[in-house]
């Protein structure tokens, strides 16, 4: 008799809504269509390094479609090529653990950092398939990543809720969202939430232009203004505002707090009262949206297809509404950034949104 296929799966990097639907899709497709076994690694690459696993069953993945987070756990500090504060290379140990388990493939659900690791492990001979997820939507070669739409929904609802308090107090409300070095989240949530000013890293803004727009709105009787700011925007000195650095992390820089600097500049230049709301990890929580549930289901099924075809070193991708696959290397070649000619930016400007550029 032919041996059952054994597929490993892990979720690496920051969590986001949509991970559990992807795990569910991988497991159920493996069980139902191929009679395969699925072994989950606990806490991302940490589980691969330390050989911490759990075999997934029908019961484990039943009822998790609507759940946020990940039943496997995750970690953004466990890099097999630079593990811990001493940056030890434990990649060979990770590879040995994979082989001890007699796995046929590993499916990695991760963002830019996790997919970089996946690519390096694949170069060492580990048969790996990637599924792109990140609320930042900054992975190249796919239109959307798992988690982005859910984070946009949370940020948009938060901006909606700010409107009433802003109007009551005649304030400038500055809502800071995540996104790291790209402005996808701020752009989509800002447009959907009716932001009057949207500041993103890809468009260098002039604070004087922003202030002129806020004063203009005040003079024509607008009782409040909403400013949506991506955490990765740079001020006039071209420096990022870094909240802290985390030793041992795959990406030690933690952004956050640039909005306080912007609020101070606005108050000094305009005399308008400004308040700051930093959404932070709120954007990573909650149930996945219908879009993310559907995308994760399709990505999970496609990832298993790639395993069965022996098409390793590839990741799932959404392009022009179609589910396809691309080499992982093309997805990590560079960060996918917002371009100034993006139709959504042009549409936002057409309805009067200020980008300060």
Catalytic residues: 136
Does residue 83 contact residue 75 with C-beta atoms inside 8 Å? no
Q: Are strands 37-41 and 6-11 parallel, antiparallel or unpaired?
A: parallel
- How far is it, in rounded angstroms, from Cα 321 to Cα 301? 16
Q: Which residues contact 60 (CB under 8 A, 6 or more apart)?
A: 27, 54, 71
> Is residue 279 within 8 Å of residue 176, measured between CB atoms?
yes
């Amino acid at each position: 008799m032919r041996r059952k296929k054994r597929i490993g799966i892990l979720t690496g990097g920051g969590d986001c809504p949509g991970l559990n639907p992807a795990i569910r899709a991988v497991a159920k497709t493996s069980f139902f269509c191929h009679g395969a076994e699925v072994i989950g690694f606990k806490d991302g690459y940490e589980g691969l390094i330390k050989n911490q696993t759990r075999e997934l069953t029908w019961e484990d993945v039943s009822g998790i479609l609507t759940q946020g987070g990940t039943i496997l756990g995750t970690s953004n500090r466990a890099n097999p090529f630079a593990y811990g504060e001493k940056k030890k290379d434990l990649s060979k140990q990770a590879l040995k653990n994979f082989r001890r388990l007699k796995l046929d493939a590993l499916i990695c659900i991760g963002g830019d950092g996790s997919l970089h690791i996946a690519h390096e492990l694949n170069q060492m001979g580990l048969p790996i398939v990637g599924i792109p997820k990140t609320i930042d939507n900054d992975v190249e070669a796919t239109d959307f990543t798992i988690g982005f739409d859910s984070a946009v929904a949370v940020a948009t609802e938060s901006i909606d809720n700010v409107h009433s308090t802003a109007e009551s107090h005649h304030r400038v409300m500055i809502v800071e969202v995540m996104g790291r070095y790209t402005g996808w989240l701020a752009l989509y949530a800002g447009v959907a939430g009716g932001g009057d000013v949207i500041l993103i890293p890809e468009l260098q803004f002039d604070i004087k232009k922003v202030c002129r727009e806020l004063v203009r709105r005040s003079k024509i009787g607008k009782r409040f203004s909403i400013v949506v700011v991506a955490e990765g925007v740079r001020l006039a000195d071209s420096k990022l505002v870094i909240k802290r650095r985390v030793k041992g992390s795959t990406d030690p820089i933690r952004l956050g707090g640039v909005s306080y600097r912007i609020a101070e500049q606005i108050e000094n230049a305009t005399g308008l009262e400004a308040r700051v709301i930093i959404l932070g990890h709120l954007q990573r929580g909650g149930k996945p949206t219908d879009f993310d549930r559907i995308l994760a289901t399709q990505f999970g099924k496609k990832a298993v297809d790639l395993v069965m075809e022996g098409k390793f070193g590839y990741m799932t991708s959404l392009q022009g509404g179609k589910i396809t696959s691309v080499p992982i290397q093309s997805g990590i070649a560079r960060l996918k950034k917002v371009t100034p000619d993006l139709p959504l930016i042009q549409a936002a400007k057409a309805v009067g949104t200020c980008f300060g550029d």
